[in-house]
Structure 1
Amino acid sequence: MKKEHLPEKRCVVCKRPFTWRKKWEKNWNEVKYCSERCRRNKI
């Protein structure tokens, strides 16, 4: 699949868009943060 066709979400902390990654394949529905840094700085 080409990168422009990958699913996309917005990070709940920084509000930036991030795209699907292979490591999130099994739990894409639960992913909320674009990075470890955002996850640590959650509200």
Structure 2
Amino acid sequence: MAHHKTRLPSKVCPVCERPFYWRKKWELNWERVTYCSERCRRRRKQSTSASS
């Protein structure tokens, strides 16, 4: 059975600007997921605190 990412909801990461797709672990809070990875989440915090 093949999985097709085109059928999954997607968002664009504001840090790396790449699309990322729905994952089972995000099922309950997909609306609140903003970043594609922990690395991008940390980078966002660094860039905002560095500019302040």
- Provide the TM-score with structure 1 as the length reference: 0.88
Counterpart check, 1:24 vs 2:17: no
Q: Which has the higher contact order (CA 8 A, sep 6+)?
A: 1
- Provide the TM-score with structure 2 as the length reference: 0.74
Moved over 6 A (4+): none
- Alignment length, in residue pairs? 43
Q: CA deviation at 1:4?
A: 2.0
- Identical aligned residues as a percent: 63
Inter-partner Cα distance in structure 1 for 2:20 and 2:27: 14
Which 5+ residue runs of structure 1 have no aligned equivalent?
Answer: none
Larger radius of gyration: 2
Report the counterpart of residue 43 of structure 2 in structure 1. 41
Inter-partner Cα distance in structure 1 for 2:13 and 2:5: 18
Which 5+ residue runs of structure 2 have no aligned equivalent?
Answer: none
- The amino acid across from 2:33 in the alignment is V
